[in-house]
A and B are shown apart, each in its own frame.
Chain A
Amino acid sequence: MSDLLEAFRLVMATDVLVAIAASAVYGLVVGSLPGLSATMATALLVPVTFWLSPIAAVATIITASAMAIFSGDIPGALLRIPGTPASAAYTDEAYALTRKGQAELALGAGLWFSAIGGIVGTLSLMLLAPLLAEMALNFSTYEYFWLALLGLMCATLVARSSPVKAIASMLLGLLLACIGMENPAGTPRFTFGVAELLGGIEPIPALVGVFAVSEVMRAMASAEPPKLPRRRFGSILASQWTLTKTYQWPMWRGNFVGIIIGVLPGAGADMAAWVSYAMSKRFSKEPEKFGTGHPEGLVEAGASNNASLASGWVPSLLFGIPGDTITAIAIGVLYMKGLNPGPTLFTERAPAMYALYIIFILANLLMIPLGIVMIRLASRILRAPRAAVMPVILLLCAVGAFATTNSLFAVLMVGAFGCLGFLMERNGFPVAALVLGIVMGSMVEQSFVTSLIKSDGDVMPFFERPVSGVLAALTFGALLWPVLALPWNRRAKPARLKEETP
């Protein structure tokens, strides 16, 4: 109980409250601009967190990411351009509603069910994390190896990309993580005599390059998105209570699926939204209405992506294994602030953990009033010309990267990773898998090599320990899933073609 009071005291500090309010506005605005994703919004925040207290730093990340995931729905519904990849799954549906003149319903559903998903996800985090922490105390390097690998494999299960290319991206990320002397032997590897590379590839410049610079590059090569027509919105929350009652079951299913996907290391909000939308269509009583402006899928997927955002913190806090690219950034911030992830975090730093839960709830409650304001202002914010936004983003990339290490080499890295990200995206290689590879590379190697040294080069202990065996099975399942799904995919395709050409 005293821990809880202490947590409230931590959150109610002026700097934390200011940080929450400022990052909420920032997240809403950046998330709503097409092409600027939630991950990018979070990555550009990192240099700012250097100068904040630990709780305020974590609060900015939590608030900004939750707001950005919601506000990605806004341009999705109004322009048919998802603001963040997590909204892409149901963009067509939301846009169809807008065309039917029900933009309020689409946006309101995005807002209302995002907030519900976020709160349910937080409750699951509060419940699951301490339970799993007990178990995690017994984990040794074998389990950590499989967990990290499972996370990487899940990251390759991205919808709409070739699994082989996704695995190749991940391996490329792991290879980049080999650079430097941060390996079990302390030998400089692949540094080519460049002194700056001895310390390895910093995740933040890589993230900023891959997600932000490549977006500026893409803007250079594509036509400007259409301008938003001015419109007046009716009441935004009016019909949401009816929706909640009508689609109560899909909503809970969305929450549940989002939580499960979030807890899996490596799988995040994008995947949660795709899976939930597909499930919603599959189990709906009226699947024929999907795609024509039917709110059921919005309810389920909108709840799901925000629920996964909160539960994605479970593997991050417990094992230091990111649930998605956003928590990958968050883990870096946690280490920097002395809140090193691990099962003992929940016993030794209990007030900080309670504070984290409170911030989550607060952010999701704050989302409703701020979100309404944002929706009303959206037509004005989305009018900001791209030619004015992108140059400033580029400048922030340079300054932000410089701020992480105070060296110009980081700026160079940002440029290089921008080119790499642009090239990969153009050729169908998912960049999120690359980023997770870079972030988790040293952990995978460390646990792999230490385990092999412990077992004298024997691989059997990797499978013999009970938890380790289960995790191994899950990992191979994730690896083989595309192979199993291929025949099903093939059969589904001709059927879909027939539907489209009656």
Chain B
Amino acid sequence: MLIGNYQESYASDEAIFRTPATRVWMGLALLAAVLFPFVAGDYLLYLANLMGVLALSALGLNILIGFTGQISLGHAAFMGVGAYATAILASRLGVPFWLSIPAGGALACGAGMVVGVPSLRIKGLYLAIATLAAQVIFEWIFTNWTSVTGGIRGLNVAPASLAGWRIDTDARAYFLIMTVAVAHYLFATNLRRTRWGRAFVAVRDRDVAAEIVGVNLFRTKILAFMVSSYFAGIAGGLWVYFTKVVTPENFPLSLSIQCLAIVIVGGLGSIKGTIYGTVFMTLVPELLKATTGLARQVWPTAQSYLFPLQDVVFGLLIVVFLIFEPHGLAEVWNRMKRFFSLWPFEK
């Protein structure tokens, strides 16, 4: 049982993983993550990859919404910008993935900078609608700028390769996605502790007060948009190498909403929560599907009710979660941890 956390140096005080227990668990987790592709089948690996990409994208959105308090409904469009930039560089110019993915991130970052400009004047729901416009405009560009984006049919991309090692299976894509996702997870965790990270939170809590204490509102908000869309762009780039095809229909408004749901279900402003949210939003529907599959064997005629019921149950689950824990899954997890740190000695 942990009863205290005594720090002897500034370095140990600033460490991300501060207790030996955390470091052990983190090491085990990393080991499990590395071993996972060797034990898991295609289906689970596919889901893991999907979660890696989604978590990365949602992490970006959480920096914007959860940290900085700026709402965006155009997040999928930034994923699209990153994905198209990566796909065009890779398929037309033969740029290797370790350049094309960051380039996609950079371009999405630039797009985010432009889209973020209205955030200085408008807030809340108004900003949501302004970013919605970005979603529509980018989707239109993906569909209609045929000479560059391949139009409605999109672009096909060859698998990435590194020194002759082709990333053409789910297991190999897993290593690529997880490496990038873990690196960005650490980046987001650290970002929070920097001057900029604190400025984000200050803007969220009270923008006027933040400006009075010397936070440049415009720069901070724009930076939040840039970081957020950079994450989305990187996620989009990974998506390209993961699915090997990119079409305008891959980045609809519903994906933006899904990212938003991940952030809210996981916990606004919580980096861990984003991961929990992604796991919840991806795995629960699959588990429900597996359950209906079992129910179908017992009661075969009920399929016409059971299939739509999955969505109903999933929706209800989200509502129930939000009612009982508005701070999201991250807070549920924290409460559980607090409970077990005293157990069985609590009164």
- Do they bind each other? no
Interface residues of A (CB under 8 A from B): none
Hey, which bits of chain B sit against chain A, CB under 8 A? none
